[in-house]
Structures are given as C-alpha cells and as structure tokens.
C-alpha cells in the first residue's frame, strides 16, 4: 500500500517538476527546478496560430470549442477560413461559428449547394473586415445575401458569384453602390444579374474594378459595355463569353479607354467583325506611343500623368481618323488619367495584371466568332507578341473558326520557315535527308 502511494506521489511530483541539465561546468550537474503545471490554455497565441496553420479548416473550427482561451486566440489570429468541406450542414454551421472568426478577411464556400441566405446574413453581421469571398455555384442564394454583404462588408474587394442563378440585377446594383472597393467580380452564368443596369452601377461606383467575368449573361448589350469602359478604365480581365448581343461598338470603346487590358474573351460573340480586331490593333499602337512619351519624360509624376493623357488624346484622335470605319462622333475622345495610377492588388491572385514589357494582351478568346477574317486576326496576333497559336503557348483561341486556320504566331511562322528551308536544302543536296524523313 505504501509502495502504491509512493508511486502516485512520484507521478504528481513529476507533473509539477522539470529536469534541467546544466553543461556550464566541466562536471555534468543535474538540477531539479520547480515549474508551473502546463495546461492547454497556456499555449501562446502565436504558437497556437502556427500550429493551426498546419491543419485543415475543419480542425480549426473544432479547435474553437476547446476552451475560451483557444477561442479568443483563434478569433484574433485567423484571417482566412474555408467551409468547402462542409456540404449538407453548411447553412447551420456558418451562423453558429461566424462570431468566432470576427477578423476574417478571406473566406471560401465553394460548391456548397445547400448554402442559403441565413449563412450569408451571418457573414455580413460579423465579418466586417471581409475582403475576399468565394460563393461559386451557390444556387440557393438570392438578393438577400447581396444586401447583407453590401450592408456588412463595405471593404469587399473580390467576390465570386459564378453559378449563383438566384441573384438578380437589383441585388448586384445594391452591392455595387456599397462595396466601392470591388476589384474582382465573377458573375458568370448569373443570367438574371448580368445586365446593362448592373454594368452601369459598377461603372458609377467601382472605378477600381480590374477583373470582370459576365459570361453567358445574354442581356448585356453595347450600352452596358460602353458605360463600363468609360467608368472602369483600369480593367485588366474581361470575359463576355456568350454575350450574344454585343457588337463591334463594345470592342472599339474598350480599346479606346481600357489600355491596360490583358485578357479578353468573346467566345461565340458572332456579331464581332474585323472592325473590332483593327480597333485592338490601333489601341496597341496608341499604347506604345503613350508609353514611349511617358518614358522620355523626366518631370514629376503629376506632370507625367498629364502629358501621357494629352499624348493619348492626340494619338487617339489621329489614329481613329486613319481607320476605315472612322466617323465624326463614333468614339468618345475623353481620356481618363487614372489609367496611369497604381492600385494595390488587394491580396488575391493578380499574376495576369503586371505588364512590365508593355506587351498588352496575353490572352484573347475569339472562338466561335465566325465573322472574322484571317487578315484581321493575323494583324492582332502581330500587334500583341504574347498571343500565340502554337500548342505550347496557346493564348489566341480560334476554335470553331475554319476561316482562321492560316493565322499563326511568330513561333508557327518561324517553324514553317525553318521547315521550308530544310526541304529546299534537301532538294538541292543529294546527300541531305529526303523531305519525308524530316
């Protein structure tokens, strides 16, 4: 019995003592130092956050229920969370834990088909610092969710609503009027939300917009695109896939006012003709002129902006007069000097935005645009050296256009030239391998 009591007392002593080895002296000396018993809530917040960064989001949510100390540490330290793992019960889980993540800036709830407006209302009530939200394929969401985000998340910069077929134009207008820092918006497939009125609201309130995907929003016309181009001159990514009503007018006004465009998509926009392609070529020449004038100027930044704007205005009017479709009043002559300003990236993927070499477009999708000729498309390919038709770097998409098979980038042209040279050398030199071996 005494032996058992001795073992228990020894275990208790070891729980409250630590062994420290001191190697300062020549002789190894072992000291026993009293310490306070370690507990879960004694873990420093920084260490806890580092540990939780190594586990999945489900474990992070579970960790908030360990104790009040952990809950407070997680609330303070976690700024990004994902609920993609929670499918059927996501609409109950998000409202129950939203208050525990009050400092969240980035959240993903992708492909959660059971997500409803109650969950997004909780997000708007507690996550006032939210800047990035992914709600892809949440078909049950309605305008109630957009109103909740508009009221509670004014700092929102990135919003992915692709596949959210339950939202409409009114909700998107409300969102644009309150979230004026919006820079990345994806409403692909939201046929009830993508309209001219929605684009006009974005143009009036979200001048910093850089990324916009309105694919398969068939209500959009040239009116909405014109308003967008005039109000959001810093656009870099635009996708009008399946917007069947837009015509050359949309492309011309975009080429005139959005000189920083890097990605353009016009899949199945069959009303686009060669006039649109030559407008892009003309924009490339204007951009080169503006950039060279900006580089040669050694004055202050404000003066450079003014001179660049004047140069762009004069070159724009002169180059338009040389185009075959030029007519008085066909294009607006106003210039937005904000196209030279620098805006931060907002913490999300913007790898397609920088253009240090000044190449302009890096991706153009005109697949299904059967009204285009090979001459016009080849002119665009020549004007933008980053557009490629070769399989290795295919960035000029012309699928479904049988009349564009002769279009080729510099890689294809060089490959054809090399092959012809090899065949000609083979024909003149008997010792050279025959053409069919090449």
pLDDT in tens, 289-321: 666 665 554 344 333 333 333 333 333 333 333
pLDDT at 19: 32
Q: Extract the tokens encoding 344.
A: 């931060």
Of all helices (H) and strands (E), which one includes residue 256? helix 248-257
Residues 238-259 have a mean pLDDT of: 96
> Is 73 within 8 Å of 53 (Cβ atoms)?
no
pLDDT per position as a tens digit, 72-110 = 888 888 999 999 999 899 999 999 999 999 999 999 999
Strand order in the sheet with 132-134: 80-82, 106-108, 132-134, 158-160, 184-186, 211-213, 237-239, 263-265, 363-365, 396-397
Q: Tell me which residue of 194, 188, 186, 192 sits closest to 210, measured CA to CA.
A: 186
Q: How far apart are CA 307 and CA 345, in angstroms?
A: 26
Residue reference for tokens 């050398």: 425
**Domain spans in the chain, listed from the N-terminal domain onward:** 37-78
pLDDT value of position 40: 61
Distance of alpha carbon 283 from alpha carbon 263, whole angstroms: 14
Sign of CA pseudo-dihedral 305, 307, 309, 315: negative
Q: How many CB atoms lie within 10 A of CB 47?
A: 10
Residues in the chain: 438
| 157, 158, 211, 240, 260 from 187: Cα distances, Å | 14, 12, 11, 11, 22
- Taking a C-beta distance cutoff of 8 angstroms, is the pair 169, 198 a contact? yes
- As a whole number, mean pLDDT of residues 49-68 equals 88
Q: Which pLDDT value is given to residue 348?
A: 45
User: Can you give the pLDDT at residue 305?
Assistant: 30
CB atoms within 10 A of CB 357: 8
Q: Where does the pLDDT of residue 419 fall: very low under 50, low under 70, confident under 90, or very high at 90 and above?
A: confident
What is the model's pTM?
A: 0.76
The neighbouring-strand residues paired with 29 are: 22
Residue 155 has pLDDT above 90, yes or no: yes
Decide if pLDDT at 262 tops 70: yes
User: Strand ranges (DSSP E) for 299-421?
Assistant: 363-365, 396-397
pLDDT confidence tier of residue 420, bands split at 50, 70 and 90 = confident
Q: Residue 397: what are its φ and ψ, rounded to 5°?
A: -90, 115
Is residue 72 within a helix (H) or strand (E), and if so which, with residue range? helix 68-77
Fold of 37-78: Monooxygenase (1.20.1280)
Angle between helices 196-205 and 169-178 (to 10 degrees): 0
pLDDT, the chain, mean: 79
Residue 406 tokens read as 């002769």
Residues 346-378: pLDDT tens digits? 344 455 567 766 679 999 999 999 999 999 999
pLDDT of residue 111: 94
Q: Give the other-Cβ count within 10 Å of 54's Cβ.
A: 7
In order of 28, 36, 235, 359, 430, the CA distances from 238 in angstroms are 71, 61, 7, 17, 55
Q: How far apart are CA 159 and CA 108, in angstroms?
A: 10
Return the structure tokens found at 145. Answer: 């969710």
| Residue among 395, 406, 408, 391 at smallest CA distance from 367 | 395
């Amino acid at each position: 019995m005494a032996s058992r009591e001795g073992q228990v007392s020894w275990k208790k002593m070891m729980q409250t003592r630590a062994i420290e080895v001191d190697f300062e002296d020549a002789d190894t000396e072992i000291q026993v130092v009293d310490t306070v018993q370690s507990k879960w809530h004694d873990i420093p917040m920084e260490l806890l956050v580092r540990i939780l960064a190594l586990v999945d989001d489900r474990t992070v949510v579970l960790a908030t229920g360990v104790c009040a100390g952990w809950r407070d540490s997680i609330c303070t330290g976690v700024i990004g969370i994902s609920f993609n793992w929670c499918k059927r019960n996501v609409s109950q889980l998000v409202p129950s834990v939203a208050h525990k993540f009050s400092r969240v800036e980035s959240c993903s709830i992708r492909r959660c088909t059971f997500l409803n407006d109650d969950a997004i209302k909780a997000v708007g009530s507690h996550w006032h610092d939210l800047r990035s939200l992914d709600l892809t394929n949440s078909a049950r969401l309605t305008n109630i969710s957009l109103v909740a985000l508009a009221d509670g998340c004014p700092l929102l910069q990135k919003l992915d609503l692709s596949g959210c077929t339950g939202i409409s134009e009114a909700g998107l207008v409300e969102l644009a009027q309150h979230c004026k820092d919006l820079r990345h918006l994806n409403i692909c497939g939201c046929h009830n939300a993508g309209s001219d009125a929605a684009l006009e609201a974005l143009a009036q309130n979200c001048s910093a917009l850089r990324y916009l995907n309105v694919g398969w929003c068939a209500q959009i016309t040239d009116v909405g695109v014109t308003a967008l181009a005039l109000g959001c001159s810093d656009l870099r990514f635009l996708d009008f896939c399946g917007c069947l009503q837009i015509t050359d007018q949309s492309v011309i006004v975009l080429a005139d006012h959005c000189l920083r465009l890097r990605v353009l998509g016009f899949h199945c926009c069959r009303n686009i003709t060669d006039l649109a392609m030559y407008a892009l070529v003309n924009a490339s020449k204007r951009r080169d002129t503006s950039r060279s004038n900006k580089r040669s100027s050694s004055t202050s930044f404000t003066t450079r902006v003014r001179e660049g704007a004047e140069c762009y205005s004069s070159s724009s009017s002169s180059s338009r007069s040389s185009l075959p479709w030029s007519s008085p009043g066909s294009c607006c002559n106003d210039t937005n000097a904000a196209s030279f300003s620098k805006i931060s990236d907002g913490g999300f993927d913007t790898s397609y935005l920088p253009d240090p070499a000044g190449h302009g477009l890096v991706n153009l999708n005109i697949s299904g645009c059967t009204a285009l000729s090979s001459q016009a498309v080849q002119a665009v390919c020549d004007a933008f050296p980053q557009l490629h038709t070769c399989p290795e770097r295919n960035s000029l998409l012309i699928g479904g256009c049988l009349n564009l098979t002769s279009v080729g980038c510099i890689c294809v042209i060089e490959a054809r030239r090399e092959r012809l040279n090899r065949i000609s050398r083979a024909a003149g030199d008997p010792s050279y391998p025959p053409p069919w071996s090449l």
